[in-house]
């Protein structure tokens, strides 16, 4: 039920290698690059329910059966009668597996005739999930370009010019293709993607070389190139493609504008989906990947600066760099204590990078933001909402939910769109942990009393004075909802500009959070002062951080 091509993702349909849904129970497995998350899902009272879930380090040997057995043992232990009804009471009898696979980030080299073309091609490749290194004939000679392209870690070579090429590119296109053909001789099996005028050069390559030609004559050339690159990056049952499909399906079944923010160890994804303009119209979906936003990647001093700016743990710069490098080596380890604080800092930096790298998806706030991927599950749920509020300073009111059992990617691989919608629709209450409602206001003056909040829920309304520069927290547990009136002394931007707002708040583990801090957030320059400020916000929404 999707009509608009997503940059880097052709249709929002299930990825190749998709699953068809089995009988009354199944096991899901999200095979991430850092951890594997498994669940048991079964029909209970004619409805799909989540029965058990866990996550373990991505093991060195295949252990999906062992993981499923572990969960089934727990189901049997908790309710033997239910296990018997579902045919799960016999150890060793495993229900079918529905899995999504997180593929490690792959490296592509972009060789272009001009700097402008290189930048455009690198942006397209990055949006499709490739980490890129690029060079143009304007800056590097053929020897340096050959050295770049023949590195053993290069998984694809993209060679391009504009189409039609300008005068400078016309002279260089033939030489670039010849250079690429030379690289292909040295690196048998390296896929070559020829873009623009270079696409006509396929005959220069030896027979057996895998060459894909992508001329760009049409208006949707960019989308076509991204789709080609995304398909080449992804393997069967690719988790990120599946998340895009699941996002589109959620927008359809919930009839909400949905945004998914996924951060992991091998990549990051932002996807937006919204229902069609009229009932029955197809969902509109757009998605962009940002490989540079992977968790904990510190490839230069600027990247370390970004994490350090959010760090609330007392580490010097050298030690912080080492901790982040260890995080990349063993992301499943050291989750307790300041390991969680480290992840929260790294996650903020990654989220900022994801949002900055996917600006083409910016727009009005969605109704629902879903946090997905292993990185979000490595900190407590209420802290996840704070991380979102800290790093994504978008005025507006959104509901926030967490894909804590990492069900969305496996369910996104269900091939039949109607069946996927049916299963996801029934599993939403189990699959998405509600974190609460987040309202971010821009243009709030500093001061003790800038406005007032009234929450009507049940018989007793809650009144709260609002202070500028602070977070206002209202306890609103999962399952509860209420009407909120916000009144300010001066106009603020809450997605729309005004002084009085009426909105609907839904509850969650963090409740209702009204964020009256600066947009963008301004933090003290001095390290100690900055840590204190960040720590005070963490203490409010993350009470377990020091225990």
Partner 1 sequence: MSGSPFVAARPLLVAEPRVRIPLLPGDRIVVSAGTNVAAGDLLAERVRDPRLVEVDGDGLAAASHPGAWIAAEPARRGTAPAGELLFEHGGRRRIATGPHPDLVTAPAAGRVVAVHPGVELVLQLGGAGIPGTELLGDPGHGRLALLLADGDGRIPLEVAHAGAIVVFPGRADAQTLTRARAMGIAGAVVPALAERDRRDVVASEARQRAGLHRLAPFPVLVLDGYLRRALAGPMREILAILAGSEVGLVAAPPMLVTARAPRDLPLPDPDRVRVRGGPEVGREGRFAGLAGPRRLPGGIVVETARVELDDGRASVVAVGDLERFT
Binding site for partner 1 (CB under 8 A): 35, 54-61, 63, 66-67, 69-70, 73, 141-143, 146-147, 150, 152, 174-175, 178-179, 181-183, 185-188, 318, 321-323, 325-326, 329-330, 332-341, 378-380, 383, 542-545, 547
Residue nearer to partner 1 on the CB measure, 273 or 344: 344
Q: In this structure, how many other beta carbons lie within 10 angstroms of the beta carbon of residue 519?
A: 17
Residue nearer to partner 1 on the CB measure, 73 or 220: 73
Measured CA to CA, the distance from residue 486 to residue 500 in angstroms comes to: 6
Which residue in this structure is represented by tokens 């942006």? Answer: 123
Q: Between vectors from CA 236 to CA 233 and to CA 238, what angle results, nearest 5°?
A: 65
Residue nearer to partner 1 on the CB measure, 142 or 535: 142
Residue nearer to partner 1 on the CB measure, 61 or 359: 61
- Which residue in 242, 270, 241, 273 sits closest to 256, CA to CA? 273
Name 452's Cβ contacts closer than 8 Å, sequence gap at least 6.
463, 464, 465, 466, 486, 487
Give the number of residues written for the chain.
547
Whole-number minimum distance, CB 225 to partner 1, in Å? 25
- The distance from CA 73 to its chain's CA centroid, rounded to whole angstroms, is 32
Whole-number minimum distance, CB 537 to partner 1, in Å? 15
Which residues, in sequence order, are bridge partners of residue 484?
Answer: 455, 503
Is residue 398 within a helix (H) or strand (E), and if so which, with residue range? strand 396-402
Residue nearer to partner 1 on the CB measure, 325 or 496: 325
**b/e per residue 22-39 (b: at least 16 CB within 10 A):** eeebbbbbbbbbbbbbbb
Residue nearer to partner 1 on the CB measure, 1 or 179: 179
Whole-number minimum distance, CB 168 to partner 1, in Å? 16
Residue nearer to partner 1 on the CB measure, 58 or 421: 58
Whole-number minimum distance, CB 185 to partner 1, in Å? 4
Whole-number minimum distance, CB 303 to partner 1, in Å? 13
Residue nearer to partner 1 on the CB measure, 143 or 167: 143
Positive or negative, the CA dihedral 125, 244, 6, 506 is: negative
Instruction: Extract the tokens encoding 460.
Output: 């007793």
Residue nearer to partner 1 on the CB measure, 141 or 463: 141
**Alpha carbon separation from 370 to 53, 181, 240, 375 (Å, rounded):** 19, 44, 14, 13
Name 535's Cβ contacts closer than 8 Å, sequence gap at least 6.
312
Whole-number minimum distance, CB 300 to partner 1, in Å? 12
- Cis check for the bond before 223: say yes or no (omega within 30 of 0): no
Whole-number minimum distance, CB 417 to partner 1, in Å? 34
Task: Decide: 269 and 290 in contact? Cβ < 8 Å.
Answer: yes
Whole-number minimum distance, CB 112 to partner 1, in Å? 17
Residue nearer to partner 1 on the CB measure, 92 or 520: 92
Q: Quick one: three-class SS letters along 39-79?
A: EEEEEECCEEEEEEEEEEECCCCCCHHHHHHHHHHHHHHHC
Whole-number minimum distance, CB 473 to partner 1, in Å? 17
Report strand pairing: 25-31 vs 35-44.
Answer: antiparallel
Whole-number minimum distance, CB 304 to partner 1, in Å? 10
Residue nearer to partner 1 on the CB measure, 152 or 277: 152
Whole-number minimum distance, CB 321 to partner 1, in Å? 5
Whole-number minimum distance, CB 503 to partner 1, in Å? 29
Task: Decide: 52 and 433 in contact? Cβ < 8 Å.
Answer: no
Measured CA to CA, the distance from residue 288 to residue 167 in angstroms comes to: 32
3-state secondary structure of 320: helix
Residue nearer to partner 1 on the CB measure, 309 or 315: 315
DSSP at 103: P
Task: Decide: 72 and 91 in contact? Cβ < 8 Å.
Answer: yes
Whole-number minimum distance, CB 330 to partner 1, in Å? 6
Task: Decide: 30 and 373 in contact? Cβ < 8 Å.
Answer: no
DSSP at 220: T
Residue nearer to partner 1 on the CB measure, 219 or 318: 318
Task: Decide: 325 and 304 in contact? Cβ < 8 Å.
Answer: no
DSSP at 4: S
Measured CA to CA, the distance from residue 206 to residue 514 in angstroms comes to: 62
């Amino acid at each position: 039920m999707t009509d608009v091509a997503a940059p880097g993702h052709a249709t929002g349909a299930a990825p190749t290698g998709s699953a068809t849904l089995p009988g009354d129970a199944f096991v899901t497995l999200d095979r991430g690059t850092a951890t594997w998350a498994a669940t048991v899902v079964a029909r209970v009272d004619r409805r799909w329910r989540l029965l058990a879930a866990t996550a373990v380090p991505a093991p060195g040997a295949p252990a999906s059966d062992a993981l499923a057995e572990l969960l089934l043992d727990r189901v049997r232990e908790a309710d033997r009668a239910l296990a018997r009804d579902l045919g799960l009471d016999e150890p060793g009898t495993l229900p079918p597996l529905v899995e999504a696979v997180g593929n490690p980030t792959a490296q592509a080299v972009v060789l272009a005739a001009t700097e402008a073309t290189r930048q455009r091609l690198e942006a397209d490749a990055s949006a499709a999930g490739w980490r890129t290194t690029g060079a143009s004939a304007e800056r590097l000679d053929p020897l340096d370009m050959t050295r770049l392209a023949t590195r053993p870690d290069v998984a694809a070579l993209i060679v391009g010019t504009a189409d039609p090429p300008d005068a400078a590119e016309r002279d260089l296109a033939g030489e670039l293709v010849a250079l690429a053909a030379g690289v292909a001789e040295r690196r048998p099996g390296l896929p070559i993607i020829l873009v623009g005028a270079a696409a006509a050069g396929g005959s220069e390559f030896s027979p057996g070389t895998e060459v894909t030609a992508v001329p760009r004559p049409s208006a949707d050339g960019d989308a076509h190139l991204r789709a080609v690159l995304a398909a080449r990056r992804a393997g069967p049952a690719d988790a990120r493609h599946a998340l895009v499909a699941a996002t589109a399906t959620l927008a359809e079944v919930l009839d909400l504008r949905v945004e998914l923010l996924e951060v992991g160890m091998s990549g990051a994804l932002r996807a937006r989906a919204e229902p069609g303009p009229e009932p029955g119209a197809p969902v509109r979906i757009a998605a962009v990947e940002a490989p540079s936003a992977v968790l904990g990647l510190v490839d230069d001093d600027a990247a370390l600066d970004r994490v350090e700016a959010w760090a609330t743990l007392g580490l010097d710069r050298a030690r912080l760099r080492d901790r982040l490098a260890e995080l990349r080596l063993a992301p499943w380890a050291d989750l307790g204590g300041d390991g969680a604080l480290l992840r929260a800092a790294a996650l903020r930096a990654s989220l900022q990078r994801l949002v900055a790298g996917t600006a083409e998806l910016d727009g009005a706030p969605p109704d629902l933001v879903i946090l997905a991927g292993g990185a979000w599950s490595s900190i407590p749920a209420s802290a996840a909402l704070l991380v979102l509020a800290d790093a994504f300073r978008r005025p507006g009111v959104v509901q926030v939910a967490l894909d804590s059992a990492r069900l969305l990617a496996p369910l996104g691989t269900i091939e039949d769109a109607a069946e996927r919608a049916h299963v996801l629709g029934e599993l939403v209450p189990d699959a998405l942990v509600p974190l609460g409602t987040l309202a971010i206001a821009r243009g709030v003056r500093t001061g003790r009393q800038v406005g007032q909040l009234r929450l009507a829920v049940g018989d007793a309304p809650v009144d709260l004075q609002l202070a500028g520069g602070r977070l206002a927290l209202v306890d609103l547990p999962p399952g509860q909802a209420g009407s909120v009136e916000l009144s300010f002394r001066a106009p603020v931007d809450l997605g729309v500009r005004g002084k009085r707002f009426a909105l609907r708040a839904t509850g969650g583990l963090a409740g209702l959070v009204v964020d009256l801090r600066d947009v963008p957030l301004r933090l003290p320059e001095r390290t100690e002062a900055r840590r204190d400020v960040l720590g005070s916000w963490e203490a409010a929404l993350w009470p377990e951080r020091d225990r």
